[in-house]
Amino acid sequence: MEGIRESCLRAREAARKTALLSPEEKNRVLYACAKALREDTEQILAANRRDQDQAEDQGMSEGLLDRLTLTEKRIEAMAAGMEQVAALPDPVGEELERIERPNGLRIRKVRVPFGVIGIIYEARPNVTADAFALCFKAGSACVLKGGSAALETNLAIMESIRRGLLAAGADPDSAVLIRHTDRESTREMMRQKGILDVLIPRGSAGLIRSVVENATVPVIETGTGNCHVFVDASADPDMALSIIVNAKTQRVGVCNACESLLIHRDRLPEMVPLIARALGERGVQIFADESCRSIFPKLSAATEEDYGREYLDYKISMKAVDSLEEAIRHINRYGTGHSECIVTGDMERGRRFQQEVDAACVYVNASTRFTDGGEFGFGAEIGISTQKLHARGPMGLREITSYKYLIDGEGQIR
Amino acid sequence: MEGIRESCLRAREAARKTALLSPEEKNRVLYACAKALREDTEQILAANRRDQDQAEDQGMSEGLLDRLTLTEKRIEAMAAGMEQVAALPDPVGEELERIERPNGLRIRKVRVPFGVIGIIYEARPNVTADAFALCFKAGSACVLKGGSAALETNLAIMESIRRGLLAAGADPDSAVLIRHTDRESTREMMRQKGILDVLIPRGSAGLIRSVVENATVPVIETGTGNCHVFVDASADPDMALSIIVNAKTQRVGVCNACESLLIHRDRLPEMVPLIARALGERGVQIFADESCRSIFPKLSAATEEDYGREYLDYKISMKAVDSLEEAIRHINRYGTGHSECIVTGDMERGRRFQQEVDAACVYVNASTRFTDGGEFGFGAEIGISTQKLHARGPMGLREITSYKYLIDGEGQIR
């Protein structure tokens, strides 16, 4: 089997050409890949069934199995997603700034492709198609390393993509799938500095930690979300309740779901029973501190650990706070820098919360579930960055590009 | 002595306050620090003399010793530099984008401070003052780790800075100097993820490599420059000569100096003797390939290694190329993504060079020496990024900030 470095070098070579394609050429490729995916539905489903069988034999959990499983509808959604990406404005070549210097130099800052984007993800085969489409539209080649449980499916999807690339006259190595499934290979991929330009891990906190620990390629961390909703002293109770229920239960397995509630002490007697009943009805278990439990004793007892937990489940922690300051401190201590919300009737306090909470997206009176490329109007997203370097929050096409300076002179010297 | 983690935590705590200072408050601090530096000139010089004595005893080279040495004039330049930074526009709080969504959500993308910026550098004490001033103006606290040979000087400078911070009513922990000089401590600093938000190494290629290898904190690589000048077939010979001489010899120890020449084969007979004489007169040794040496045999022979070398010295490599494509390929293979130049009379070829060369700054008909925050009009710079993530090329105040999204609603849910 081809080595990791060789696979990455193939993508590097293709990236030179991908960077030079016109918007029309890139869109033609994306349409061709969508067409190939649709044509290959049978083969992809067959490969996916083999992956499912193996996963069942190995006792994969219900939730993971659902993410692994493809249907005709899901493949159609992947194909349609590629066409949607094609329809987005092309980010490459945009002039971001123009500087004229007294010595006559003209400096232009221009958006350019990254080059090669590495993506490491788990057993969700739709990521294979989505990530390729976004990287390609952004002018970059990609090296994809999916979860081993989805290998057969990913190979089948990749075959369609390569067929689409070839059909539209592009370099098929614009998308390279790593077939190795051992940890050492993943580690080797993380260390292809100079060949990969950026590495985006998508998946569990454990995966992301491992990438941060081992990578020499620059990393964009994504998607760990211990998101809070803080019910301030002046919160409208109905609004607070509706935001909490939405942020916790609309979809529990996603990174922008709420995992922790902070309640201003003035509102405990009123809000705790309301929240406990509303979430209880929806099967959410609440881990609460003593103050909250003294009002509603049926709540489970929270430990210190609960405040740092990203449950991704029908569970949530809850804590009383004495002040806005305490809420901000708590969030800055336990949060993951993803999405945080204050429900308040006092916009001045809302502004302070927005200024002092250190997170990608800070909401006043809206659900944390809106942290999403689609909801922000980016058209699509490759992930939600929780770091402060390069990109923060939802990452669309622009966020997976770089820039360079082009300087024109007539022989200027210093 | 205080541990690394504790030092970083002090800065983290101060960063909360630093982020909230108004432009006027920050500028007051910078003026107070400049004043303190001037007042403490004697003590700083005395400390610097102790560092020099020790460095001489240990046989430090002339060049490094010069970088270590402070004079009254250099301290005045540090103080004046702080005042210049104070005069720059404040980057924090700038609204970068405003999005209104159909559901009524108002999303604002706002520039915010990083938080805590770690800087690892070598025995150049002026970096201590410069880096603090830029980080502070950008609303961040900084943790500084300077070369051990400059420790006494850095401690003295830091005492002035802390005095200035206190005098202006700011948190003195906005600038923290790491006193440990062992490697293990430096490594520990690189792994303060969650406490340091970004790490900027400034110095030799070896230092930068070590940071990239060991850091878990996100890194911005700076300042490795294997910069090329390509003399195209249609280059004006006088312009080419003047750019080459300037890019190589105006200052040899800097990252934007030219380290390698590529000459279009059509121009070899004419250009090689001209360049050889002009650089020879200035004491530059040329390591050339066989094609160039066949024209001017007194040139030294280049090995493959020479093409990858950042000499930072009166040395340069030189190679004939058959075409624009070969020049681009060579540069993309051996370059460090810093600054690259084509001298050409054909603007179409210039544009192609700019598009296909993968570097932060790509020049048509101007010296690579212009890659500099001051020359770009940024007012000051903290380094030149050679990576594609976050910032590329000269990094001014804006480049050491992040952004966040502030979202206002009236109870919107998904």
| pLDDT tens digit sequence for B211-260 | 999 999 999 999 899 999 999 999 999 999 999 999 999 999 899 999 99
- pLDDT confidence of residue A12: 97
Per-residue model confidence (pLDDT) at position B205: 85
CA A414/CA A102 separation, integer angstroms: 13
Mean of per-residue pLDDT scores for chain B: 96
> A239 to chain B: which residues are within 8 Å by CB?
410-411
pLDDT at site A181: 87
Query: In percent, how much of chain B has pLDDT > 90?
Result: 93
- Confidence bin at B379 (pLDDT 50/70/90): confident
CA distance A230 to A245: 13
Residue B406 contacts A where some CB pair is shorter than 8 Å? yes
Give the per-residue pLDDT at B130: 96
Comparing CA positions, the residue from B266, B270, B218 lying closest to residue B241 is: B270
Tokens of B355: 């598009």
Q: Which residues of B touch A367 (CB under 8 A)?
A: 412-414
| B389/A197 touch (CB, cutoff 8 Å), yes or no | yes
Locate tokens 């330009």: which residue?
A197
Return the structure tokens found at B406. Answer: 């502030």
Q: To 10 degrees, what angle do helices B126-137 and B23-39 make?
A: 160
**Cβ–Cβ contact A403 with B under 8 A:** yes
User: What are the chain B neighbours of A389 within 8 Å (beta carbons)?
Assistant: 197-198, 218, 220, 389-390, 402
HSE at residue B249, side-chain half, CA atoms within 13 A, is 15
Q: Which residue of B has its CA nearest to A241?
A: B411
First to last CA, chain B: 52
- CB pair distance less than 8 Å for B404 and A332: no
What is the side-by-side strand order in the sheet with A227-231? Answer: A300-301, A285-288, A315-321, A258-264, A227-231, A339-343, A361-366, B401-412, B106-113, B95-100
Which B positions 23-62 lie with beta carbon below 8 A of chain A?
A: none
The beta-carbon contacts of B292-295 under 8 Å, at least 24 apart in sequence, are B292/B263, B292/B268, B292/B318, B292/B319, B292/B320, B295/B268, B295/B269
Could you please report the per-residue DSSP string of A2-56? --HHHHHHHHHHHHHHHTT--HHHHHHHHHHHHHHHHHTHHHHHHHHHHHHHHHH
How many angstroms separate the CA of residue A211 from the nearest CA in chain B? 9
| Pair A401, A382: CB distance under 8 Å | no
| CB neighbourhood size of A130 (10 A) | 22
The whole-number pLDDT of residue A65 equals 92
Report the distance separating Cα B117 and Cα B139, nearest Å: 10
Res A62: pLDDT: 86
Chain A within 8 Å of B350 (Cβ-Cβ)?
Answer: yes
Its sign, for the CA torsion A226, A232, A237, A243, is negative
Pick the more confident residue, A82 or B205: A82
Q: How far apart are CA B396 and CA B385, in angstroms?
A: 11
Ordered DSSP codes for B391-405: --EEE-TGGGEEEEE
β B285-288/B315-321 pair status: parallel
Return the H-helix or E-strand segment holding A318.
Answer: strand A315-321
Q: Residue A358 is nearest to which of B115, B356, B413, comparing CB atoms? A: B115
Question: Helical H runs in A98-204?
Answer: 126-137, 151-167, 183-190
Mean pLDDT for the stretch of residues B49-63: 93
Rounded-to-integer distance, Cα B255 and Cα B293, Å: 27
Contact B393 A377 (CB under 8 A): no
Look up residue B369 and give its amino acid.
R
Q: Would you state the pLDDT for residue A380?
A: 86
Q: Which of A242, A387, A412 sits opposite B413 (nearest CB)?
A: A242
Residues from chain B that touch A403, judged by Cβ atoms under 8 A, are 392
How large is the average pLDDT for residues B275-292? 98
Across the beta sheet with B141-145, the strand order is B175-177, B141-145, B116-121, B198-202
b/e per residue, B334-351, with b = 16+ CB within 10 A? bbbbbbbbbbbebeebbb
CB contact under 8 A, B377 and A239: no
Q: Do A414 and B375 touch (CB under 8 A)?
A: yes
pLDDT digits (tens, 9 = 90+) for B295-310: 999 999 999 999 999 9
Band of the pLDDT at B44, cuts 50, 70, 90?
A: very high
Alpha-carbon gap, residue B296 to B274, rounded angstroms: 10
Structure token digits, residue B384:
């030149």
Q: What is the CATH architecture of B227-370?
A: 3-Layer(aba) Sandwich (3.40)
Q: What is the mean pLDDT of residues B272-280?
A: 98
Nearest to B364 by CA among B324, B315, B393: B324
Encoding tokens for residue B288?
A: 């050339």
A104: left (phi over 0), alpha (psi -120 to 50) or beta: left
CA–CA dist B407, B413 (Å, integer): 13
pLDDT over threshold 90, residue B94: yes
pLDDT of the residue at A366? 98
| B286 to chain A, closest Cα gap in Å | 21
Segment B326-351 shows an average pLDDT of: 97
Closest in A220, A361, A377 to B407, CB measured:
A361
**Residues B58/B60/B66/B71 CA torsion (nearest 10 deg):** 0
What pLDDT score does A187 carry?
A: 94
Whether domain B4-221+387-408 has CATH 3.40.605.10: the reply is yes
Torsion of CA B59, B384, B127, B185, to 10 degrees: -70
Domain chopping of chain A, boundaries: 4-221+387-408, 227-370
Q: Strands B106-113, B393-395: parallel, antiparallel or unpaired by DSSP?
A: unpaired
Q: Is the pLDDT of residue B63 over 90?
A: no
Neighbours of B150 (CB within 10 A): 27
Predicted local distance difference test score (pLDDT) of residue B394: 97
Q: Find the range with the poorest average confidence among A76-80, A173-177, B268-272, B378-382.
A: B378-382
A414 token code pair: 């210093």
Q: What is the DSSP letter of A407?
A: E
Q: Of A253, A199, A197, A193, whose CA–CA distance to A221 is shortest?
A: A199
Low-confidence ranges of chain A (pLDDT < 70): none
If you search the block for the tokens 């499912």, which residue do you land on? A52
B355 in contact with chain A, both atoms CB, cutoff 8 A: yes
CB contact under 8 A, B105 and A377: no
* Residues pairing with A117 in the sheet: A142, A198
Share of chain B above pLDDT 70, in %: 100
B20 has a chain A CB within 8 A of its CB: yes
Distance CA A126, CA A34 (A): 13
Output the pLDDT for position A379.
87
Residue B1 has pLDDT above 90, yes or no: no
Are the Cβ atoms of B409 and A369 closer than 8 angstroms?
no
Do residue A363 and residue B409 have CB atoms under 8 angstroms apart? yes
Report the SS3 class of residue A414: coil
Would you give the distance in Å from CA B86 to the centre of its chain? Answer: 20
In a 13 Å sphere around the CA of B69, the CA atoms on its Cβ side amount to 12
